[in-house]
Structure 1
Amino acid sequence: MLYWLLIFVPMSIVLELVHAPGLWIFASSALAIVPLAAAMGSATDELAKRTGPTVGGLLNATFGNLTELIIAFIALFAGRFEVVKASISGSIISNILLVLGLSILCGGLRRTEQRFNSTAAGTMAAMMLLAVIALVMPAIFDIVAPPEHALPLEHFSEGVAVVLILIYALSLVFSLVTHQSLFSGEEHATPPTQRLATSLLLLLGSTVLVALEAEFLVGSIEQVVTTLGLSEFFIGIIVIPVVGNAAEHFAAVVFAMRNQMDLAVNVALGSTIQVAVLIAPILVLVGAFLGPNAQGEFFDLLFTPLEVTAVALAVLAANLIAIDGTTNWLEGAQLLAVYLIMGLAFFFLPS
């Protein structure tokens, strides 16, 4: 259904070659990334079908947010640290409020209530609480540590990043090995529909094209800011997460409409955990290797008070949803309302 958007792949390349206005390049590359991300997801699913549930789950966990990681890498290499940080917090917020909210709303329109595994959801909610702590502590450290004696914030962030990666590895052991039954949901094993070589080529080709489109996207941000008057922060926290996760968002909504709420919840919350506990730490460690940007800044985990507050409130909402293992359409509408309110705050925030 999303693959008709592939027409924007050659279109964005042509626009980049002829040096078209940045807004056109940004829009076409953003739309091109959506079907390419879907193709990456499809190829990963096909490869996962050829392995056991443990290896298959590891493949999905590894490649689940590859599109967002690529976009963040490109922005990190370009020195656009504000965009990278905003895309991290924005992805967490959009996965919990937008994706989960839309899934619950669409799935509940024809049903009185829907049920999911509250134990698995509660485990994921606890992991997200850990992510909030990881975001809050650098901000507190920056406030209370005496400047003349404090360890540089980037070193503190690197230590936090290592801890987060270790706990993410342990969470994979928990969900894929020791407590696999909690996360299996209603999904049933299906045979692969593609040849192995086809899946590998599709994954490789779509990954290369996503990297190319991400280069176009990041390179045109400055012109979009000038043309539309939007802040880089707003583009990072709202636009990039929606573009990078569009295919995954669509899948979660489809699962919910089929009354497969375990899968829908796992997609939304699982993606959130990957971003917060894996992608963000990886970016910190890569940033440490790259060094400061043109402004002399190092990449760290110091987020703005508004971002930290928004993420904390989103995680609180997820915990409230996960408590009883049931949802209804009104809860979905409430999550979407919170997302819209936060979006307005991000939009009107001065640059």
Structure 2
Amino acid sequence: MVCVPHSTNQWTCLLIQKRRLSYLWLALGVPVLLIVHCVVWAVCWFFVVSIPTAKLNSKMITKILYLPPDEVQIGDCGRSSGSGNEQMSEIIMYAHRSIKVYYYKYAVDGVNVILANLLTFVILSIILGYSVDNTVISGVTKCILSVLAIIPLTYYIGMAITSISAQSSFAVGAILNATFGSMVEVILFIIMLKKGRDSGQECYQELVKSSLTGAILCSILFIPGVSMVIGGLKFRTQKFNPKSANISASLLFVAIVGVFAPTVFSKIFGSLKCQGCERIYKEFTVHEPGSSIPATINNSVGFLCQQCEQSLQGLHGDRTLYTKHIEPLVYAISLILPIAYLIGLVFTMKTHSAHVFEEFELQLKEENAANGHHGTAQWSRIKSTIILLLCAVAIALCADLISENIQPLLEKTGISEYFIGVTMLSLVSELPEVVNGVQFALQNNVNLGIEIGCSTAIQVCLVQIPLLVLVNLIYPMGFYVVFNDVHLWAVIFSVVIINYIFQDGKSDYFQGSIVVFIYILLMCMYLFMLTPEHALCHNDGRHVSNVTSRISF
């Protein structure tokens, strides 16, 4: 305890001396201790569980350091008597505990304290990224800091959209959800595509396509799977809304058919392009008429080709297949998919909301489970709008740093562009959804965790990709909506699996673990995947003749 004795008789005698000591203390003692307490406060606050200690240091910084040193006592405080004179003390700070585990639930202005602390990475990434040369701080460090900075920005955008939607009509909420909900990924992808266009490297296209695929796989498999596992460990069996899940499954089928139709089209009608082919010869023994000595001849029996893949270009760079067939198909799909998304929103949230949600929500109420489908407003509209704009600017700056420094990261780690795309670039923007899904599952509402995952996957296909096509139409960046075969089959397989899980309307930790294991196995496949030459990022953007492929491990 820290106390101030109220003995006014002594103060009169030593007033001048105490003032001199106080000035000396303020000049020499306070600055040093102020720095020390600020550092301790920052460290304790960042680790969350030690926030009680951070609060003690906060009280020291704001009040106690500026008191005369001889008036402050540390120890037991209360009423004491001595020599017949009663002395009273005032408690100005009481240290009850230094660490408390449950501070991970602490909120700052409606935002979880952990995500609020991650704003530190936003400040560090922008300051260090644009003011410090790469010779002082490596490009790898800048890239990692920028990736970590996107996590809290994504969460703040989601909070702002929820706040505005809760105070607006359904139409405004739907438009905001469709546009700003995909802001992080769209800004990152546009800047990376522009970087690829400026540098002449096709690898940035492949990074974007891998990130889109990774976001779909994470939303379909990882978010629902983790929610099922965490919820199933706390509750034996959990129920989710089969009607809502069936609607999401139907939209997922529409999304996958639309997004990957150009890919299937190119596989059927595209030209086969190989890195190199060698003619194969086989020896044949023949007997010429009138000669008893057999003759040996070598005849060509075919070609041995390496690194073959379907190409949109025909002989001599002919692009007729793409310009006359695939490109119009992409534009048609980009018009149809957003319409399907809007119809799904109107059906589930407006015209048939009661049919889809009412019965299940009544069932949740009867089981005393966590309830509530719509978000609540944490901030005002003006504050939410300002936060959206600030986050958009910060995301653009961080995305620019990622695109500028991702190539050194690829060189240092030796990991392929495909694996970086489906993991790091896609997971950072999905982490807030993962956290939300787990929190709902712990409240025995795994239904919302599943809905979050499916809605995110639907937004990737029905909103983000059409937006990228529209931007590419206005400002050509060479974005072709033709994916690698691995992406195609991984997504189709995942959609089939999750639809099988949705059939009975119940979940447990076993079902969730199976879904998570499938996701991990797919990531292992990407980890050991061969990287084609066109997907490799080089220092100067030119072809490197002595590099043909890289195994990503």
TM-score (norm 2): 0.60
Q: Deviations over 1:255-281 (max 9, x none)?
A: 111112222111110010000111112
Query: Could you tell me how far apart the structure 2 residues matched to 1:311 and 1:14 are?
Result: 38
2:400 is aligned to: 215
1:101 is aligned to: 225
Query: Could you tell me how far apart the structure 2 residues matched to 1:40 and 1:106 are?
Result: 26
The share of aligned pairs that are identical, in percent, is: 30
Give the counterpart of 1:26 among 118, 127, 143: 143
- Size of the alignment, in residue pairs? 346
Q: Deviations over 1:53-79 (max 9, x none)?
A: 554354334332321122112212223
Instruction: Tell me whether 1:180 sits opposite 2:294 in the alignment.
Output: no
Q: Deviations over 1:61-117 (max 9, x none)?
A: 433232112211221222321111111111000111111111111111111211111
1:89 is aligned to: 213
Question: Where is the helix percentage greater, Structure 1 or Structure 2?
Answer: 1
1:4 is aligned to: 117
Aligned pairs for 1:1-351 (under 5 A) are 1-16=114-129, 17-19=131-133, 20-53=137-170, 55-79=172-196, 80-145=204-269, 150=321, 151-181=324-354, 182=356, 186-187=371-372, 192-291=377-476, 293=477, 298-351=478-531
Q: CA deviation at 1:138?
A: 1.6
Query: Quick check: 2:263–2:482 contact (8 Å CA) kept in 1?
Result: yes
Q: Which amino acid in structure 2 is aligned with residue 68 of structure 1?
A: E
Residues 55/290 of structure 1: CA separation in 2 closer, same or farther (3 Å cut): closer
Query: Could you tell me how far apart the structure 1 residues matched to 2:225 and 2:247 are?
Result: 19
More moved, 227-236 vs 101-110: 227-236
Residues 54/328 of structure 1: CA separation in 2 closer, same or farther (3 Å cut): farther
Residues 320/350 of structure 1: CA separation in 2 closer, same or farther (3 Å cut): same
More moved, 214-223 vs 64-73: 64-73
Q: Deviations over 1:131-168 (max 9, x none)?
A: 22224422231133376863253332222222212222
Q: Which amino acid in structure 2 is aligned with residue 27 of structure 1?
A: I
Query: Could you tell me how far apart the structure 1 residues matched to 2:147 and 2:447 are?
Result: 29
Query: Could you tell me how far apart the structure 1 residues matched to 2:429 and 2:351 are?
Result: 31
More moved, 23-32 vs 140-149: 140-149
Query: Could you tell me how far apart the structure 1 residues matched to 2:515 and 2:375 are?
Result: 33
Query: Could you tell me how far apart the structure 2 residues matched to 1:137 and 1:193 are?
Result: 41
Query: Could you tell me how far apart the structure 2 residues matched to 1:58 and 1:256 are?
Result: 28
Unaligned 5+ runs, structure 1: none
Q: Which amino acid in structure 1 is aligned with residue 515 of structure 2?
A: L
Query: Could you tell me how far apart the structure 2 residues matched to 1:135 and 1:53 are?
Result: 27
More moved, 252-261 vs 329-338: 252-261
Q: SS of the residue aligned with 1:336?
A: helix
Question: Where is the strand percentage greater, Structure 1 or Structure 2?
Answer: 2
Unaligned 5+ runs, structure 2: 1-113, 197-203, 271-313, 362-370, 532-553
Query: Could you tell me how far apart the structure 1 residues matched to 2:469 and 2:378 are?
Result: 38
Q: SS of the residue aligned with 1:109?
A: helix
Query: Quick check: 2:215–2:460 contact (8 Å CA) kept in 1?
Result: yes
Query: Quick check: 2:220–2:495 contact (8 Å CA) kept in 1?
Result: yes
Q: CA deviation at 1:290?
A: 2.4
Query: Could you tell me how far apart the structure 2 residues matched to 1:286 and 1:188 are?
Result: 33
Query: Could you tell me how far apart the structure 2 residues matched to 1:117 and 1:4 are?
Result: 35
More moved, 153-162 vs 125-134: 153-162
Q: CA deviation at 1:225?
A: 0.8
Q: CA deviation at 1:191?
A: 5.9
Query: Could you tell me how far apart the structure 1 residues matched to 2:480 and 2:230 are?
Result: 38
Query: Quick check: 2:223–2:450 contact (8 Å CA) kept in 1?
Result: no
Query: Quick check: 1:15–1:24 contact (8 Å CA) kept in 2?
Result: no
Query: Quick check: 2:164–2:380 contact (8 Å CA) kept in 1?
Result: no
Query: Could you tell me how far apart the structure 2 residues matched to 1:156 and 1:255 are?
Result: 40
Query: Could you tell me how far apart the structure 2 residues matched to 1:281 and 1:215 are?
Result: 22
Q: Which amino acid in structure 1 is aligned with residue 220 of structure 2?
A: I
Query: Quick check: 2:227–2:441 contact (8 Å CA) kept in 1?
Result: yes
Query: Quick check: 2:210–2:422 contact (8 Å CA) kept in 1?
Result: yes
Q: Which one scores higher on RCO, CA 8 angstroms, separation ≥ 6? A: 1
Which one has the largest radius of gyration?
2
More moved, 189-198 vs 257-266: 189-198
Q: Which amino acid in structure 2 is aligned with residue 127 of structure 1?
A: L
Residues 330/82 of structure 1: CA separation in 2 closer, same or farther (3 Å cut): same
